[in-house]
Amino acid sequence: MAAVTARQGWARVGGLVWNARGAALLLIGLLIYGRLADPFGLFIVASALVLSLLALSVDLQWGYAGILNLGPAAYLGLGAYTYAITQRKITAGSPTYLAFALAILFGIVLAVIVAFPAFKARTLPVYYALITLAVALILQRWTAVSYDLTGGSNGLVGIPLPDFSLPGLDLKMTTAEQFFPLASGVVVAAYLACLWLTRSRFGRLLAAIRDDEEKVATLGYDVATTKLIVAAIAGALGALAGALYAPLAGTAHPSLFGIAFSVQTYVWVAVGGQGTLIGPILAAIALKLLENRLRGVSADGYLMLLAAVFMLVVIFLPKGIAGLFDAQAVRDRFRRSRGGPIALAPVLERPLDEPHG
């Protein structure tokens, strides 16, 4: 056993680096962009990055576990309002740690509450999709009428920027441009975390559940709990997106729960390619920049365009536009055409087992 560990260890490090190449390229790209772009461009890309966390949450659920949550915006809104209200009523003028922590906590709690009956009672997947959509819309409606807490349909304005100050260390954000590096860092970290998760044994379990839940149960796994964990992680990611989006935009309003944000997220995941993680992030940046060009022309037109693209992708490219260029798929096709057993794939292309241990 000991004899193999050194070689396997290095192979695993190599594998990690190879798998993380997307993150490295993304980070380099963002660093360069951060140097070149004007403040407004930085703002646009920062909001794309923040919202791409929501896309990551959808990709984890839909792309990896086959769970369809049609109301991801519920978590965006929840995170945004939690951040805004906490910072207003509890920790005004103080560092924003509590606001972020509460947002993530509430995201997890909401996700578990919503998903619990659907997964535990093994209801139709369609029902879960409908319930999640209903939850988002009813939260939107409730936010719009709860004036005392949420400011009603006017929303909340003047939401303070994040402040990560520690005793003796001033880390208070003062300008919106400073958001860009924060958003970049969070997204790259979230991407790496999701990558690790999906390449781990847990990720393999998710893929198996997506294929055949019943079979996985006969292998001794608790399918419902596994799906709940995924929903909870997604809830945390979505709420984090909201908690970052509120201070970036400076406002929180009921439409954050709205269907437009949910659809937009699905479009990013579908266009970027579900089950790729990096795809939805890139799609978020690209489409957000495009939106910025088109929104001036017609906001409705832009949304229509998104919806049309989404439909076309779902109908004609079930693996997303990125699926067209998927190198792995090409390799698979090649393998299949040769047939028979294949040689051991190069170790770098093998899925990562566990980065440590």
- Rounded to whole angstroms, the Cα distance separating 66 from 275 reads 10
Please give the residues from 90 up to 119 whose contact with another protein meets the rule CB under 8 A: 113-114, 116-118
Signed CA dihedral, 330, 336, 337, 338: sign only: positive
Tell me the closest approach of the beta carbon of residue 148 to another protein, in angstroms: 14
User: 152's torsion region: left (phi>0), alpha (psi -120 to 50) or beta?
Assistant: left
Please give the residues from 25 up to 64 whose contact with another protein meets the rule CB under 8 A: none
- Rounded to whole angstroms, the Cα distance separating 77 from 229 reads 21
Please give the residues from 198 up to 217 whose contact with another protein meets the rule CB under 8 A: 201, 204-205, 207-208, 211-212, 214-217
DSSP 3-state of 156: strand
Report whether 122 contacts 214 (CB < 8 A).
no
3-state secondary structure 146-200: CHHHHCHHHCEECCCCCECCECCECCECCCHHHHHHHHHHHHHHHHHHHHHHHHC
Q: How many CB atoms lie within 10 A of CB 61?
A: 29
CA-based nearest residue to 98, from 112, 108, 109, 84: 84
Q: Kindly tell me which residue out of 65, 84, 131, 156 binds another protein, with binding defined by CB under 8 A.
A: 131
59 CB burial (10 A radius; 0-12, 13-18, 19+): buried
Rounded to whole angstroms, the maximal C-alpha distance in the chain is 68
Question: In the complex with another protein, which residue's Cβ is closer, 157 or 304?
Answer: 304
**Number of residues lying near another protein (CB under 8 A):** 78
Question: In the complex with another protein, which residue's Cβ is closer, 158 or 296?
Answer: 296
Q: Kindly tell me which residue out of 40, 101, 222, 295 binds another protein, with binding defined by CB under 8 A.
A: 222
> Which span sits near another protein by CB under 8 A: 50-58, 177-185, 239-247, 345-353?
345-353
Q: Kindly tell me which residue out of 20, 45, 50, 70 binds another protein, with binding defined by CB under 8 A.
A: 70
Question: In the complex with another protein, which residue's Cβ is closer, 40 or 116?
Answer: 116
Question: In the complex with another protein, which residue's Cβ is closer, 162 or 275?
Answer: 275
- Does 134 engage in binding with another protein (CB under 8 A)? yes
Q: Kindly tell me which residue out of 7, 21, 120, 295 binds another protein, with binding defined by CB under 8 A.
A: 120
Write the binding mask 273 to 312 for another protein: x where contact by CB under 8 A, - elsewhere.
Answer: -------------------------x-xx-xx-xxx-xx-
Q: Kindly tell me which residue out of 44, 49, 156, 223 binds another protein, with binding defined by CB under 8 A.
A: 223
Question: In the complex with another protein, which residue's Cβ is closer, 144 or 159?
Answer: 144
